[in-house]
Structure 1
Amino acid sequence: MRVIQPSVEIIDMDSYENILKKIEKIGRVCYKSEGRIAEGSAEKFIKNLLTRQHESVIEHESISVRFTCDRGVTHEIVRHRIASYSQESTRYCNYAVDKFGNEITVIDLATGFKYDLNDEKDKAKYDIWTKAMEDAEKHYFELLELGATPEEARSVLPNSLKTEIVVTMDLRSWRHFFRMRVDSHAHPQMRQVAREAFDIFKEKLPVFFADLEGEF
């Protein structure tokens, strides 16, 4: 069994400059103000759109992100609409073969929940979790050895199982996603990957996301 940390990877995101030009050109159709497009005009125009909550305009641009996280987190991610999802399938992936290192991979519980492994109580919880993951792996392999298919054997796999999911949303949907999933009330492991994604978006596309920082 392998224990890893969650991660976030941008799969598809156009340059900031191209997105600015595209959204400004589309947004100005609403006001027939295309003649006011000039060097440096896009950021101010888009900021005004967002201030007025005219967010439908930014639905014209989308971004794809790969989340590596546990399966429990993906159950929360896929509740978001409108979006497209492609996820690693436990029906077809056989973790007992060389391709997967002949082991299951799980997402570290301690990091997401900020366990202090020098604390006796946190250490005890983590040890029980580790034992449960090892037991799940053992029973998964036993089922496969008895001739069960991966889609049968997966029934004993844990929520902590590592999975990869590619999520494509338009910019408006990403704003809603971050509002819901970076919030302090979000599940700790959900918030962990959402915050990592948000920090990337805020750095690369500031006019579309930097204003959300004050909401968290």
Structure 2
Amino acid sequence: MRIIEPSFEVMPVNGEEILKNIERAGRTCYKSEDKITADSARKFVAGIIKSGHESVIEHEKITVRIICDRGVTHEIVRHRIASYSQESTRYCNYANDKFGNELTFIRPFYWNDEPEKMEAWLCHMKLTEETYMRLIKLGASPQEARAILPNSLKTEIVVTMNIREWRHFFKVRCSPAAHPQMREVAIPILKKFQEIIPVVFDDIKVEEKL
């Protein structure tokens, strides 16, 4: 049994090129392509966002690979305007060498300072792993044995959203009202986006305390 922390990887993007592409698309509306200069994209995109004309930013997309628990992915995939490719418990046989003959779980960080709760969780994860392996040995297929797998199971999901949907995602999933483990994933992704893509996400402020 392995216990890990959630993580993510943003697929390669060029933030400045994203802004230029958005500007080229957006200026079509006003036929103002003649106003495009080497440094006009930031101001144009900032104006688009401020005005609420966000359909223009749908022309660009960003892809992120996220490692988290399955409970979090159940919330992620509720965002409709997106594409998803997720690790499948139907086809992945965790009793195989490929997966180290073990289950991997995401640590629930909110019990880090509550050892009794963490111990109860660990005991259940251990029992889950033992039961899963027993079912496989008894001849159950992975898609049958997955019936006993919990939300804490580690999963990988590749998520592609256009920029407007990512903005909506962060406004909903970084909110203090969101699930703590969702915020644990969403806030670092937002901060990374703000680092590598100018202007587009700068207006989204979050309370970082989990």
Gaps of 5+ in 2: none
For 1:211, what is the secondary structure of its paired residue? coil
Give the residue type in structure 1 aligned to 2:98.
Answer: K
Alpha-carbon distance in 2 for matches of 1:215, 1:155? 37
Structure with greater proportional helix content: 1
Deviation, 1:206, is: 2.6
Distance 1:130 1:178, change over 3 A: same
Give the residue type in structure 1 aligned to 2:153.
Answer: L
Check the 8 A contact 1:179/1:215 in 2, yes or no: no
Alpha-carbon distance in 2 for matches of 1:209, 1:9? 18
Provide the residue aligned with 1:105 in structure 2. 104
Number of residue-to-residue matches in the alignment: 208
Check the 8 A contact 1:12/1:65 in 2, yes or no: no
Provide the residue aligned with 1:5 in structure 2. 5
Check the 8 A contact 1:70/1:161 in 2, yes or no: yes
Alpha-carbon distance in 2 for matches of 1:56, 1:168? 17
Alpha-carbon distance in 2 for matches of 1:64, 1:6? 17
Gaps of 5+ in 1: 117-121
Q: What is the TM-score with the length of structure 1 in the denominator?
A: 0.94
Deviation, 1:40, is: 1.2
RMSD over aligned Cα, in angstroms? Answer: 1.2
Which of the residues 112, 115, 118 maps onto 2:112? 115
Q: What is the TM-score with the length of structure 2 in the denominator?
A: 0.96
Q: Deviations over 1:111-145 (max 9, x none)?
A: 2x2631xxxxx110000000000000010011001
Alpha-carbon distance in 2 for matches of 1:48, 1:157? 47
